[in-house]
């Protein structure tokens, strides 16, 4: 992780993120913080509900100090089965629970930074005790930023209310679903708390395949059959498929997954399915694509071939153009007066 973090910083990236699959995201970011000097650090995501808000508030506070203000804690809810059967935890409607989670973290930071009384009581979480022995005290830095991962409209609305960074799940995400379902819900959340689009950063999302020509793009589309078959087998993501008229595909994938037919699942996904859900562009055209199709976003990833000196030089050029791309941060048609 230390070598990867230094490499990302030296390559010119602004932000380094990590998921939480087979390794702990907080430990990963701690290693990255020590190994780097300037690059932003973000978990994407840390699974929230198996931990108490106090635990993550303290870890984020320490990481913000260790990194000298570079840390964003990205929170995700995970699904019911994993919370109950993998983490051995509890489950409740996740959107309302996530709102309280973020609010309690801020209440804790208010105590440490400003001496505010421990006085948060919600339906899911309660914070009414903070004694000097357990108070790390203020830091001479902004408080950590909080990101919230979104899949459905309920969580998207909560993110609009309380998040600093909005992280659309990339497993199954189409541009149409972002624009017709998630971004309108984020807007409602912003209005709920008298916030504006300038109060949040949004990561670019929507299935996108890049390549130098149509042949390369088609090969990459076909490679997406496996991840789409995995995510499409989970009912959590069927709402995305339904918006595109692909309900039957989701039902087939779910039935096959129950029987452990993983190869058949992949073969069930056709090129037509992928083209319905996916946008495409060339590497060199990506900065212009962002300005036209991701005008709401201020964050995006970039992956290109970098094996040869020529490829690395080309990557550096595209990276600079992506970083210079102008986006408004406001979704078209969803302006807030």
- 171 plus 55 within the same structural domain: yes
- 53 plus 154 within the same structural domain: yes
CA 146/CA 163 separation, integer angstroms = 6
Task: Examine the pLDDT at 65 and tell me if it is beyond 90.
Answer: yes
CA 249/CA 255 separation, integer angstroms = 10
CATH number where 12 lies: 3.20.20.30
Share of the chain above pLDDT 70, in %: 100
| Residue 275 tokens, joined | 């083209």
3-state helix, strand, coil in the chain (%, to 5): 50, 10, 35
- 49 plus 143 within the same structural domain: yes
φ/ψ bin of 69: left (φ > 0), alpha (ψ from -120 to 50), beta (otherwise): left
Closest to 228 (Cα-Cα) out of 194, 195, 188, 273:
273
Residue 7 domain flag: yes
pLDDT at 337: 86
Q: Which of 30-34, 79-83, 314-318 has the lowest mean pLDDT?
A: 79-83
pLDDT at 222: 93
Residue 331 domain flag: no
CA 144/CA 112 separation, integer angstroms = 13
pLDDT at 235: 87
What is the arithmetic mean of pLDDT over 282-299? 97
- 70 plus 123 within the same structural domain: yes
152-194: per-residue pLDDT in tens?
999 999 999 999 999 998 878 999 999 999 999 999 999 999 9
pTM above 0.85, yes or no: yes
- 125 plus 232 within the same structural domain: no
Residue 50 domain flag: yes
Mean pLDDT of the chain: 96
- 103 plus 165 within the same structural domain: yes
- 192 plus 164 within the same structural domain: yes
Residue 48 domain flag: yes
Residue at a domain's end among 177, 206, 235 = 206
**Domain ranges, residue 22:** 2-206
pLDDT at 171: 79
- 86 plus 114 within the same structural domain: yes
pLDDT at 133: 97
Burial zone of 161 (CB within 10 Å; 0-12 exposed, 13-18 middle, 19+ buried): buried
pLDDT at 269: 96
**How many structural domains comprise the chain?**
2
What is the arithmetic mean of pLDDT over 46-74? 98
Residue 118 domain flag: yes
212-263: per-residue pLDDT in tens?
999 999 999 999 999 999 999 988 889 999 999 999 999 999 999 999 999 9
Residue 165 domain flag: yes
- 89 plus 129 within the same structural domain: yes
Residue 321 domain flag: no
pLDDT band at 25, cuts 50/70/90? Answer: very high
Residue 185 domain flag: yes
Residues ≥6 apart with Cβ < 8 Å to 125? 52, 53, 97, 100, 101, 104
- 41 plus 118 within the same structural domain: yes
- 153 plus 22 within the same structural domain: yes
Task: Examine the pLDDT at 290 and tell me if it is beyond 90.
Answer: yes
- 37 plus 107 within the same structural domain: yes
């Amino acid at each position: 992780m230390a070598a990867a973090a230094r490499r990302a910083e030296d390559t010119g990236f602004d932000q380094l993120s990590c998921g939480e699959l087979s390794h702990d995201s907080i430990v990963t970011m701690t290693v990255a913080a020590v190994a780097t000097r300037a690059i932003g650090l973000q978990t994407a995501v840390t699974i929230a509900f198996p931990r108490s808000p106090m635990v993550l508030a303290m870890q984020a506070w320490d990481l913000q100090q260790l990194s000298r203000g570079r840390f964003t804690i990205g929170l995700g809810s995970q699904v019911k089965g994993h919370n109950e059967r993998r983490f051995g935890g509890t489950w409740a409607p996740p959107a309302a629970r996530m709102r309280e989670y973020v609010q309690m973290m801020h209440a804790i930071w208010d105590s440490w930074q400003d001496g505010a009384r421990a006085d948060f009581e919600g339906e899911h979480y309660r914070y009414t005790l903070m004694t000097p022995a357990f108070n790390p005290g203020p830091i001479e830095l902004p408080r950590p930023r909080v990101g919230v991962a979104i899949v459905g409209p309920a969580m998207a609305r909560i993110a609009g209310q309380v998040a600093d960074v909005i992280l659309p799940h990339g497993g199954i995400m189409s541009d149409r679903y972002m624009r017709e379902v998630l971004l309108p819900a984020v807007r409602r959340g912003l209005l709920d708390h008298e916030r504006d689009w300038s109060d949040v950063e949004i990561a670019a999302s929507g299935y996108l395949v890049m390549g130098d020509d149509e042949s390369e793009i088609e090969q990459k589309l076909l490679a997406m059959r496996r991840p789409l078959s995995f995510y499409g087998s989970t009912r959590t993501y069927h709402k995305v498929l339904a918006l595109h008229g692909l309900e039957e595909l989701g039902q087939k994938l779910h039935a096959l997954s129950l029987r452990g037919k993983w190869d058949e699942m992949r073969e069930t996904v056709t090129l037509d399915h992928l083209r319905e859900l996916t946008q495409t562009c060339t590497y060199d055209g990506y900065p212009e694509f962002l300005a036209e199709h991701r005008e709401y976003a201020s964050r995006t990833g970039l992956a290109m071939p970098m094996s040869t000196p020529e490829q690395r030089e080309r990557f550096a050029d595209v990276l600079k153009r992506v970083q210079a791309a102008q986006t408004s941060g406001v979704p078209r048609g969803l302006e807030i007066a």
